[in-house]
């Protein structure tokens, strides 16, 4: 089983992590879920990462990209490798 990472943007700050993960699990099993926090404030960032099986990747993107969650349309696509900072 090959796992792929999805980038999820425009995440509402009011939602809890387990609620957001559950929305993705309605479509396909989630292998891992990571929602980074700001180092200075400890507040959740407006994006997260969801790992799913490669076979489910397109179905999850199709189902979740543009999905309205608490008045915000999620932006879901395959995550790109992190760029090196100068």
Q: Where are the domains of the chain?
A: 3-78
pLDDT of residue 31: 97
Of 61, 56, 57, 86, nearest to 76 (Cα)? Answer: 61
CATH class of 3-78: alpha beta
The predicted pLDDT at position 72 comes to 97
d(C-alpha 72, C-alpha 86), whole Å = 32
Cα 34 from chain centroid?
Answer: 8
Is pTM, for the whole model, over 0.95? no
pLDDT digits (tens, 9 = 90+) for 10-48: 999 999 999 999 999 999 999 999 999 999 999 999 999
Q: Rounded mean pLDDT of 61-73?
A: 98
**Residue 44, phi then psi, degrees to nearest 5:** -60, 145
pLDDT recorded at residue 1: 66
């Amino acid at each position: 089983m090959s796992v792929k990472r999805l980038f999820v943007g425009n995440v509402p700050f009011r939602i809890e992590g387990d609620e957001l993960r559950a929305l993705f699990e309605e479509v396909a099993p989630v292998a891992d879920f990571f929602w980074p926090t700001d180092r200075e404030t400890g507040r959740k960032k407006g994006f997260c990462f969801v790992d799913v099986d490669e076979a489910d990747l397109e179905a999850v993107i199709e189902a979740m990209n543009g999905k309205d969650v608490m008045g915000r349309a999620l932006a879901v696509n395959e995550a790109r490798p992190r760029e090196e900072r100068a």
